[in-house]
Amino acid sequence: MNAVTWLWRQFNEERWPALILALSVALLAAVAGVTPRLMSDLDDRQLGQALAGLSAIQGDVQASWAHSQAVGPSGPDGVDDPWPARLEAARAIRDEQPEPLRSLLADPEFVGRANREVELVPEPETGYYLAVLALLVYPHLSDHAILVDGAWPVFGTGSERTQVAVLEGVAEKMRWTVGSSIGEDYVVSATFRPADPSAQRWEHVPLGRTYTEPLDPNLGVAMNAGLFLPETYTPRPGTSGRPAAGTQG
């Protein structure tokens, strides 16, 4: 009796154990092949769910740096827009990341804040004893905000005052309209409100959707708000950049 004949006889005599063994081996092989893929998919889903439950401050990839940048056009041709090159570099970093991280990273955004603030004494009818105004540059403001009145600020208007955009609620509180002067250096060219105030991006630009009113028990209520400088240093085609006529405040 050769080995093949013996194996065939054993298979006929004990067929079910042999079939069960063969089926078990096939199932184990299938599980071994599918499990890594299932675990990877599960990890990807868990990562997405974990990030979805975080605030923008907790979950967004952030970087900050101090950089000296002239306010307004300073290039040889009068145009110096620093944002396109930085956006391109940030997108390149995102595109180099492995999945699923690459798909979870949104398009990069920037926000700049000057190292000084504007302080002024508001008109008495506003009820504020002081206004402290941060100077901000948010290159994506017009993409995520609704223009209420006026035109988005631009440089190169020939005016001695720099145009700024102001949150609609701040303008109402401060009695500002398009054309109102803010101190000696700024003029309101636009009022706006966020298109989606609940969007997480505003956690990085809080003064783009709200303001604060700190209370001093001795002096009264102050206004803390933001003045948004032109988002690009290149004047937009077809616009003069001059604010519409309004009350000078």
User: Which tens digits make up the pLDDT trace of 108-119?
Assistant: 788 888 888 999
Q: Would you state the pLDDT for residue 155?
A: 80
CA atoms of 232 and 165, how far apart (whole Å): 13
Per the prediction, the chain carries an average pLDDT of 75
Helix (H, G, I), strand (E, B) or coil at 157: coil
CA atoms of 249 and 223, how far apart (whole Å): 16
Flag whether pLDDT at 190 surpasses 50: yes
Q: Would you state the pLDDT for residue 64?
A: 64
CB atoms within 10 A of CB 208: 23
Amino acid letter, 132: V
Per the model's pLDDT, the better-predicted residue between 59 and 216 turns out to be 216
Per the model's pLDDT, the better-predicted residue between 39 and 5 turns out to be 5
Q: Kindly indicate the confidence band of residue 165, based on its pLDDT and cuts at 50, 70 and 90.
A: very high
Give the global pTM.
0.68
Q: Kindly indicate the confidence band of residue 63, based on its pLDDT and cuts at 50, 70 and 90.
A: low
- Number of residues assigned to the chain: 249
The bridge status of strand 162-167 relative to strand 186-194 is: parallel
